[in-house]
């Protein structure tokens, strides 16, 4: 660049002192020099641009030039089903909260903080479950007993597993009564295969064993579709699947030495569904249904307590 500028200055001085044919020759030389200089400058600019491009490319993060490694397959997409005029709005309200706290540990956090440790002679029992447990008035069914209700409506087994430390272990019970799985079968919040339900049952049992808490597993209750409120219940909760899960759970309890509260046998009718006397919606027991369940739970708790002595 510097040599070209010197040449151009000298060239103009020659023009200033020359004329005639010499001037024409100088003019011709001037045009050729300018063209050569222009080509040289252009090529230099192109080279500089290419160099800058290479430098910028080298400075880019790897994610901009190559696909990021990912071990997992892509997430699936699904079409949301119509859950009806009541469950639909309830689910829409619930899902954003679950995205922040899937186990819903906030629900009993304050109650747990206010609950004092058990007395030396107290045999505390914690019931953990879904709405069937949540609606169970333990004080009425077991008067004078130190029984703590930690049921939450609509929950599935994976949610109970997430809050098991906070809502069971931290309360230092002697016995835990677990009644869970009916919502997993329905799939309202999360669809679980039978093997995953069993794995979640086993995981809760392992946690309880690790903390020396005796275990009672409750059988899944039968369901029915005898009323308008229950018209879709059997379709969403296959009775054959419920019976198969109960058979596995009962065998699991025998294998591990846990107590098993067979609520299903106490509430089922001749058709294999929940007796119409014990429910209106096909899922949740009425007071007379809980009255049938209470002595079964009491006997299973007594059995579990004997193992702690």
Q: For 215-230, what is each residue's pLDDT tens digit?
A: 999 999 999 999 999 9
pLDDT digits (tens, 9 = 90+) for 111-166: 999 999 999 999 999 999 999 999 999 999 999 998 999 999 999 999 999 999 99
Q: How confident is the model at residue 27 (pLDDT cuts 50, 70, 90)?
A: very low
**51 and 106 share one domain:** no
221 and 285 Cβ atoms separated by less than 8 Å: yes
Residues 149, 166: Cα–Cα separation, whole Å: 13
**115 and 263 share one domain:** yes
**181 and 49 share one domain:** no
Helices (H) and strands (E) in the chain, counts: 15, 5
Residue 80 in any domain: the answer is: no
Question: Which residues have C-beta within 8 Å of that of residue 143, sequence separation ≥ 6?
Answer: none
Residue 83 in any domain: the answer is: no
Smallest CA-to-CA distance from 164 within 242, 112, 118, 121 is with: 112
Tokens encoding 245 = 């899960």
Q: How confident is the model at residue 38 (pLDDT cuts 50, 70, 90)?
A: very low
**237 and 300 share one domain:** yes
For the question of whether the overall pTM of this predicted structure is more than 0.85, the answer is no
Overall average pLDDT of the 58-71 stretch: 71
Tokens encoding 62 = 């790897």
222 and 237 Cβ atoms separated by less than 8 Å: no
Residue 203 in any domain: the answer is: yes
Residue 200 in any domain: the answer is: yes
CATH number at residue 262: 3.40.50.1110
Tokens encoding 203 = 């995981």
Q: How many domains does the chain have?
A: 2
Residue 139 in any domain: the answer is: yes
**199 and 258 share one domain:** yes
**44 and 107 share one domain:** no
pLDDT at 187: 84
**32 and 120 share one domain:** no
Residue 68 in any domain: the answer is: no
Residue 234 in any domain: the answer is: yes
pLDDT digits (tens, 9 = 90+) for 164-213: 999 999 999 999 999 999 999 998 777 889 999 999 999 999 999 999 99
pLDDT at 72: 94
pLDDT at 129: 98
**150 and 212 share one domain:** yes
Average pLDDT, the chain: 85
* Higher per-residue pLDDT: 56 or 93: 93
The DSSP code for 178 is E
**33 and 134 share one domain:** no
Residue 280 in any domain: the answer is: yes
**19 and 118 share one domain:** no
Domain holding 37, by residue range, is 2-55
226: helix, coil or strand?
Answer: coil
């Amino acid at each position: 660049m510097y040599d070209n500028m010197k040449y151009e200055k000298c060239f103009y001085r020659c023009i200033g002192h020359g004329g005639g044919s010499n001037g024409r020759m100088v003019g011709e030389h001037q045009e050729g020099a300018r063209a050569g200089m222009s080509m040289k400058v252009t090529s230099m600019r192109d080279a500089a641009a290419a160099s800058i491009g290479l430098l910028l490319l080298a400075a880019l993060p790897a994610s901009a030039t190559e696909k990021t490694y990912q071990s997992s397959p892509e997430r699936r997409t699904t079409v949301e089903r119509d859950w009806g005029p009541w469950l639909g709005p309830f689910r829409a309200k619930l899902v954003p909260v679950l995205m922040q706290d899937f186990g819903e540990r906030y629900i009993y956090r304050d109650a747990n903080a206010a609950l004092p440790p058990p007395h030396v002679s107290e045999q505390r029992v914690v019931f953990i479950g879904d709405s069937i447990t949540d609606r169970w008035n333990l004080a009425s069914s077991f008067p004078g007993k130190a029984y703590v209700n930690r049921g939450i409506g609509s929950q599935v087994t994976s949610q109970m597993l997430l809050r098991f430390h906070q809502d069971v272990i931290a309360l230092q019970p002697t016995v835990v009564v677990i009644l869970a799985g009916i919502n997993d079968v329905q799939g309202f919040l999360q669809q679980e295969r039978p093997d995953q339900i069993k794995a979640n049952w086993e995981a809760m049992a392992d946690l309880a064993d690790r903390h020396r808490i005796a275990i009672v597993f409750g059988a899944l209750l039968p369901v029915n579709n005898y009323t308008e409120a229950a018209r879709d219940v059997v379709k969403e909760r296959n009775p054959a699947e419920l019976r198969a899960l109960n058979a596995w759970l009962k065998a699991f309890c025998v294998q591990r030495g846990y107590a098993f509260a067979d609520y299903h046998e106490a509430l089922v009718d001749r058709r294999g569904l929940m007796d119409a006397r014990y429910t209106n919606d096909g899922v949740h027991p009425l007071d007379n249904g809980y009255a049938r369940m209470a002595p079964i739970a009491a006997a299973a708790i007594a059995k579990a307590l004997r193992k702690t002595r």
